[in-house]
Amino acid sequence: MREYELVFIVRSDLSDDTIGAVTEKVDRCIEEYKGIRLIRETWGRKKLAYEIEKHTKGIYFFYQFLGDGALVKEMERRLKLDEATLRYMTVKVRDNVDPAARLRAFQDDATEAGNDAPAGASPAHAVDTGAKK
């Protein structure tokens, strides 16, 4: 397994239900491909560096997860087809990650930072910080 980080931007003029559907698609994709979601953060509405499809603002989301290349390929395919998504970028952080050890280390780090990381978190449901940066 590998560790990845995903950042994607959705249109800011959408309803909360539509935005929730996009994050639901990402979560479902991670779950279907046997991945493990470590972090899901909402960075909030921000001004874009440049106009994308006549939009000047977007809502940013950050995911950190464990998975393989097939998961990333399918997730990017789904984001590309979704009209709500303006941009996305996936970055490989580490190769050959032991999922159990990484999840334990992540939970230890979250506990030290004061976040509530559930013990024995199930795949695709580790931590949802909801943090806005």
Q: For residues 105 and 73, which has the higher predicted lDDT (pLDDT)?
A: 73
Q: What is the model's pLDDT at position 102?
A: 87
What span, in angstroms and rounded, lies between the C-alpha atoms of 9 and 12?
9
Q: What is the model's pLDDT at position 109?
A: 78
Task: Assign a CATH topology to domain 2-113.
Answer: Alpha-Beta Plaits (3.30.70)
User: What is the value of pTM for the model shown?
Assistant: 0.81
Mean pLDDT throughout 70-98? 95
Q: At what angle do helices 69-81 and 16-32 cross, to 10 degrees?
A: 160
Residue ranges of domains in the chain: 2-113
Q: What is the model's pLDDT at position 105?
A: 85
DSSP 133: -
**CB-CB contact of 105 with 3 (8 Å):** no
**Alpha-carbon torsion (75, 79, 82, 84), positive or negative:** positive
Q: What is the model's pLDDT at position 107?
A: 81
Q: What is the model's pLDDT at position 124?
A: 45
Q: For residues 130 and 81, which has the higher predicted lDDT (pLDDT)?
A: 81
Measured CA to CA in angstroms, residue 75 lies from 28, 30, 65, 80, 118 at distances of 10, 8, 12, 9, 25
| Plot region of 24 (φ>0 → left; ψ -120 to 50 → alpha; else → beta) | alpha
Give pLDDT tens digits for 103-128: 888 888 777 766 554 444 444 445 55
What span, in angstroms and rounded, lies between the C-alpha atoms of 64 and 39?
5
Give pLDDT tens digits for 16-68: 999 999 999 999 999 999 999 999 999 999 999 999 999 999 999 999 999 99
Residues 6+ apart with CB under 8 A from 26: 6, 8, 61, 63, 75, 78, 79
Q: For residues 61 and 101, which has the higher predicted lDDT (pLDDT)?
A: 61
